[in-house]
Structure 1
Amino acid sequence: MGRLSALILPVLLLTACQNGETAKPEPPVTGRSNAVTAPNGAAGTNPASATASAKPSAAPAAPRKLCADTTARPAPKGALKTAAAPGATALPGSLSFGVGKWVWVNLWAAWCGPCKEEMPRLQNFQSRLRNAGVMIDLAFVSLDDDERQLSRFLEAQPEAGVRASYWLPEGGGRDTWISALGVKDAGNLPVHALIAPSGQLACLIQGAVEETDYQAIADIVGAKR
């Protein structure tokens, strides 16, 4: 019996060693993957290159420069035609420059959308400038070729709107008059000319006036802040 036990014991020890070699523990389950996922599923994205490729913010727009191409010159002279809606106050036959007050000349036409859109703004600017101590007249000068179109527009305006205007029809000295203001393209409307109390052109603005232009214009004409 002792001899049999001596033979069985080594066999049991060998079997236990073999079982211990084959049992390798699994890594613990932690609930998160060991793989790194690129943002938004874009596998292979390099974070450093993504940052470098970001577009820089746009620089803020520079303030609009008024009167950039203005050359001082005497205001135009000569009689002008007029047009008015029924019941509107008639205008004098010419504009008076150089009589101690500013004159804001607005070249416009009934076919010009931006011209018509800015008219209430111009009237508001004139009122504000007068309240700030500036003697300034606002003169609308139409470049319409069709008198009927001009008349229909004036008649359709409310009592507080533009119901009378000076008129420079084609020919009849139109080119001479607007050239005296330094206007090169009469087809590009609206145009604004600020005539100083001395009768000299102080500022020429090609294009519509925006609400944000008020302070620049107020500074030109010397309005009190």
Structure 2
Amino acid sequence: MVAARRIGWVAALLAIALLAQAATRIPQIDGKGIQKELAKRKGKVVVLNLWATWCPPCRQEFPGLVKLYDKYRNRGVDVIVVSVDDVEDEAKVAEFLRQQKAKMPAFIKKPGDSEKFINAVDRDWPGAIPYTVVYDRNGKPFAKLLGDHTFAQFEATVKKALAKRK
């Protein structure tokens, strides 16, 4: 009887662990996916940030992106973050996002042709991170920010993009 209860508890805990793992899945995205995400948001200012868990400047600027999303998500601005970590490190990415309380759309780069991915984001992007592109309401690049930036810098750029006439 006791053994049966233990087996039941172990099975329940295993099921909970599997559900938790499934809940933290981060969708993979490629260049075409980036373009689709941007197209879905036409009419909004979009902040697209490329980062990685192993990148200290990326980790440093991330709280500013979370704050930007929280402050502007209902004001015509969307923030999308794309991790360029290896897909095998998805758990690290998910944990970092959880620690940051990041609620914005988040993706991890799908393995494959990095050149096509780079060109989908910005043909001029050298591939270094952190890299942020702010798109205007028409889906056109408004600003390109290489290196880490503060919330104030992101906010100033977003305000200019919002003020731009269509």
Band of TM-score, shorter chain: 0.5 to 0.7
Task: State the partner residue of 1:73.
Answer: none
Cα distance between partner residues in 1 of 2:117 and 2:54:
21
Structure 1 residue 162: deviation in Å?
6.3
Higher radius of gyration, 1 or 2 = 1
Task: Calculate the TM-score normalised by the size of structure 1.
Answer: 0.50
Native 8 Å contact 2:72 2:78 kept in 1: no
Task: State the partner residue of 1:175.
Answer: 115
Cα distance between partner residues in 2 of 1:164 and 1:148:
20
Task: State the partner residue of 2:54.
Answer: 111
Q: RMSD value over aligned CA atoms?
A: 3.1
- Residues 168/201 of structure 1: CA separation in 2 closer, same or farther (3 Å cut): same
Task: Calculate the TM-score normalised by the size of structure 2.
Answer: 0.65
Native 8 Å contact 1:107 1:141 kept in 2: yes
Task: State the partner residue of 1:193.
Answer: 133
Alignment of structure 1 residues 9-88 onto 2, 5 Å? 86-88=22-24
Q: Which has the higher contact order (CA 8 A, sep 6+)?
A: 2
- Residues 91/100 of structure 1: CA separation in 2 closer, same or farther (3 Å cut): farther
1:202 equivalent to 2:138? Answer no
CA deviation string 1:56-98 (max 9, x = no partner): xxxxxxxxxxxxxxxxxxxxxxxxxxxxx64248659631326
Native 8 Å contact 1:105 1:193 kept in 2: yes
Cα distance between partner residues in 2 of 1:161 and 1:111:
17
Cα distance between partner residues in 2 of 1:159 and 1:210:
15
Structure 1 residue 112: deviation in Å?
0.5
Q: Which runs of 5+ in 1 are unaligned?
A: 1-84
Alignment of structure 1 residues 92-107 onto 2, 5 Å? 94=33, 95-97=37-39, 99-107=42-50
CA deviation string 1:116-152 (max 9, x = no partner): 2221211111222346xx31111111222x3232322
CA deviation string 1:195-217 (max 9, x = no partner): 12211111111011114414521
Same amino acid, percent of matched pairs: 22
Q: Which runs of 5+ in 2 are unaligned?
A: 1-20
